[in-house]
Amino acid sequence: MSNRLLPEPFKGLEPFAQQWGLEDEASRNLKRINSAMENLREFYQAVLPEMQSIVTYLRPVPLAELNSQQRRLLNLAKMLMEVAPAIEIFNQPDVPNSFEPERFLILPPFANTPAGLVRD
């Protein structure tokens, strides 16, 4: 049995999997805010060139059927989306001239809330 954290085609991203493959949006947001720009750039430069391959690899698999390696790969892609504005726009981990991050409450996706679980 493999102890890989990511699917075989993405073994080059393994060094980032544990630290950056975070499951929820609030954790990804905190990771971005609390990371040095050097670390954000290193992650960004490693994952960005793989994004099309990640999308192509994951697209055929329904979200509910992702195994742990595939889910971690999806989380790396989500983390890239969290990091990209810091690299491409702000050139710093947090949004300049904005409210303190502690003032924002990141809620779970609507589908995970009691209202979202109601079925017709």
**75-115 pLDDT, tens digit each:** 999 999 999 999 999 988 876 556 566 656 666 665 555 55
The answer to whether position 1 is within a domain reads: no
The token duo for 89 is 């726009």
Q: Burial of 88 by CB count in 10 Å (0-12 exposed, 13-18 middle, 19+ buried)?
A: exposed
The answer to whether position 6 is within a domain reads: no
The answer to whether position 79 is within a domain reads: yes
The answer to whether position 3 is within a domain reads: no
The answer to whether position 4 is within a domain reads: no
Read off the pLDDT band of 120 (50, 70, 90): very low
Q: Identify the DSSP state of 59.
A: T
Instruction: Give the chain's domain count.
Output: 1
Read off the pLDDT band of 119 (50, 70, 90): very low
From the list 48, 47, 20, the residue with the least C-alpha distance to 34 is 20
Which residue range is the domain that position 45 belongs to?
13-117
The token duo for 49 is 């060139």
The answer to whether position 7 is within a domain reads: no
